[in-house]
Amino acid sequence: MLTAYAKVGSTVIVANMSKAERISYIGERLQSLYPETPVPLDHQDPYTLLIAVLLSAQCTDERVNQVTPALFEQANSPDRMILLSVEAIRAIIRPCGLSPQKSKAIHRLSQILLDLYDGEVPADMAALEQLPGVGHKTASVVMAQAFGLPTFPVDTHIHRLAQRWGLTRGRNVVETERDLKRAFPIECWNALHLQIIFYGREYCTARGCDGRVCEICRTCYPARKHPKRCNKA
């Protein structure tokens, strides 16, 4: 049992775990809950994954998976995508939100892939981050899920959970990513990123847990009296 107890007079005081204990417990618990980590976004190859991840910005994976079949039926490769107008792409992806920006980015990055990379998605973080509409998190997801290279994509939900669990005091997702990479072995990063997402969606949601409700929060911090206030991403 990882939780420590101390006795002061006749009172038993429940102590919070140490950071090392939290890291060990969280890794083991998430692995037991989610031994398999399927990619939440439906895709066929690195290109369709890249487009799906781009569309997922400020949109749910479920909504993206509802939209991409119609898009990929018409254009599931860069050479086919550039044959569509930006307006046509926008009409298809509108339910995902931010369609004016996303449609332009999809069309432009498809042309760049043809011009610079023979129509292939580069397995290179710096090259991906240079593509329109592709930030560090999107590039990290593609590197991990398309190419199996170790990254630790951190979104606002992972940032919030990592703070609730005492894994970081990061002021933003960049600092939280740094701290999570230091905490866990590199061979765990790709699976752990998805395991945290799965757990957060199921048990530690923004409204469902304030740092005192779900199993992991209660186990890591049994003595926590007040909601955990998290730094904004």
Q: For 153-199, what is each residue's pLDDT tens digit?
A: 999 999 999 999 999 999 999 999 999 999 999 999 999 999 999 99
What is the helix (H) or strand (E) element at residue 5, kind and residue range?
A: strand 4-8
- The verdict on whether 155 is a catalytic residue reads yes
Q: Quick one: 115 and 27 in the same domain?
A: no
The CATH number given to whatever domain includes residue 211 is: 1.10.1670.10
Q: Is residue 56 part of a domain?
A: yes
Q: What percentage of the chain has pLDDT greater than the value 90?
A: 88
| Whether 62 and 86 share a structural domain | yes
pTM (2 decimals)?
A: 0.89
Binned at pLDDT 50, 70 and 90, residue 95 comes out as very high
Asked if 137 is an active-site residue, the reply is yes
Q: Give the structural domain span for 202.
A: 4-33+153-220
Least confident of 9-18, 119-128, 214-223: 9-18
Mark whether 66 and 87 lie in a shared domain.
yes
- 123 and 62 share one domain: yes
Active-site residue, from 19, 155, 179, 228: 155
Q: Kindly state whether residues 66 and 93 are assigned to the same domain.
A: yes
| Catalytic hit among 45, 104, 137, 228 | 137
Residues 67 and 19: their CA atoms lie apart, in Å, by: 41
Boundary (domain end) residue, out of 147, 168, 185: 147
Summarised one tens digit per residue, pLDDT across range 9-62 is: 444 445 788 999 999 999 999 999 999 999 999 999 999 999 999 999 999 999
Number of domain units in the chain: 2
Question: Would you say residue 232 lies in a domain?
Answer: no
User: Tokens 């004016």 appear where?
Assistant: 100
Instruction: List the one residue out of 53, 74, 77 whose CA is nearest residue 89.
Output: 74
At 72, list the tokens. 């990929």
